[in-house]
């Protein structure tokens, strides 16, 4: 299976989760983190971990059958009934994206393993080949990550806003942003003062 890694803005979208068990309990928090407007869980029972998200999620209590149809933008099929999943998938609407927990080959999207440090997100997937191997790999990567990442990114966000709001031409903005993002600069003492001096120098240069 060949996938194109993408980041979607799902704010304002709606999602239907078919099944309220352990698999759903792992995926629903990711939907909420993406600021999806409505997350509806269709299931006779609701996992205790999902109950903690009520009323942020809506529980539609009842059994889903092979004739059931849904209008939400995303469909997450997370039961242990492969026949049910296939039937719902075959009846999907043209605008819907469907995730089948038991069939990554048929799914329109997947949930990669993700490490988050502030605004930084590092995601990886084996395409369903070996979630266990991926978990181990991501643990190794996380252990290699510098503890200063979140603080660095807060600084760089502030820097970027100031540079983009300045009168600097595009070439100077790019050069300055590239420089302050280097490890040597980020590890400098008084980097805020150094940046302000650099920005002032650049601005004075364009006046000449």
Q: 208 vs 189, which has greater pLDDT? A: 189
Q: Is 166 within 8 Å of 199 (Cβ atoms)? A: yes
The number of domains in the chain is 3
pLDDT surpasses 90 at 6: no
pLDDT surpasses 90 at 136: yes
**8: CATH:** 3.40.50.720
d(CA 173, CA 181): 12
Same domain, 175 and 196: yes
Same domain, 183 and 127: no
Q: Is 121 within 8 Å of 96 (Cβ atoms)? A: no
pLDDT surpasses 60 at 23: yes
Same domain, 14 and 103: yes
Predicted confidence at residue 35, as pLDDT, reads: 93
Same domain, 43 and 137: no
SS in 3 state form for the chain? CCCCCCCCCCCCCEEEEECCCHHHHHHHHHHHHCCCCEEEEEECCCCHHHHCCCCCCEEEECCCCCCCCCCCCEEEECCCCHHHHHHHHHCCCCCCEEEECCCCCCCCCCCCEEEEECCEEEEECCCCCCHHHHHHHHHHHHHHCCCCHHHHHHHHHHHHHHHHCCCCCHHHHHHHHHHHCCHHHHCCCCHHHHHHHHHHHHHHHHHC
- pLDDT mean across residues, the chain: 93
Predicted confidence at residue 168, as pLDDT, reads: 94
Task: Quote the domain boundaries for residue 189.
Answer: 149-207
Same domain, 120 and 91: no
Interval 90-130: pLDDT, tens: 999 999 999 999 998 899 999 889 998 988 999 998 877 88
Same domain, 131 and 202: no
Of the candidates 68, 67, 18, 14, the residue with the CA atom closest to the CA atom of residue 42: 18
Same domain, 41 and 26: yes
Same domain, 96 and 33: yes
Predicted confidence at residue 131, as pLDDT, reads: 86
d(CA 74, CA 111): 13
Question: Where does a domain end: 130, 145, 160?
Answer: 145
Give mean pLDDT, residues 132-151: 93
Predicted confidence at residue 166, as pLDDT, reads: 93
Interval 30-85: pLDDT, tens: 999 999 999 999 999 999 999 999 999 999 999 999 999 999 999 999 999 999 99
pLDDT surpasses 70 at 208: no
Same domain, 164 and 196: yes
Same domain, 38 and 56: yes
Predicted confidence at residue 207, as pLDDT, reads: 67
Give the percent of the chain with pLDDT over 90. 83
Same domain, 86 and 128: no
Question: Where does a domain end: 92, 111, 130?
Answer: 111
d(CA 151, CA 158): 11
Same domain, 158 and 183: yes
pLDDT surpasses 60 at 145: yes
Q: Burial of 126 by CB count in 10 Å (0-12 exposed, 13-18 middle, 19+ buried)?
A: middle
With b meaning 16 or more CB within 10 Å and e meaning fewer, what string describes 49-86?
A: ebeebeeebebeeeebeeeeebebbbbbbbbebeebbb
């Amino acid at each position: 299976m060949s996938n194109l890694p993408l980041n979607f803005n799902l704010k304002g979208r709606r999602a239907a989760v078919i099944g309220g068990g352990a698999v759903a309990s792992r995926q629903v928090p990711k939907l909420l983190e993406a600021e999806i407007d409505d997350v509806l869980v269709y299931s006779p029972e609701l996992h205790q971990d999902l109950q903690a998200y009520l009323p942020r999620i809506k529980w539609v209590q009842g059994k889903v059958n092979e004739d059931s149809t849904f209008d939400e933008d995303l469909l997450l099929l997370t039961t242990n009934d492969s026949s049910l999943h296939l039937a719902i998938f075959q009846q999907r609407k043209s605008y819907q994206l469907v995730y089948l927990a038991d069939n990554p080959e048929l799914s329109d999207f997947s949930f990669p393993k993700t490490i988050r440090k502030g605004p930084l997100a590092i995601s990886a997937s084996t395409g369903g080949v070996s979630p266990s191997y991926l978990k181990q790999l991501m643990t190794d990567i996380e252990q290699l990550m510098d503890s200063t990442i979140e603080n660095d990114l807060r600084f760089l966000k502030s820097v970027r806003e100031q540079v983009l709001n300045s009168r600097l031409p595009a070439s100077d903005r790019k050069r300055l942003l590239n420089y302050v993002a280097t490890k040597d600069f980020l590890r400098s003492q008084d980097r805020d003062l150094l940046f302000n001096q650099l920005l002032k120098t650049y601005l004075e240069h364009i006046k000449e």
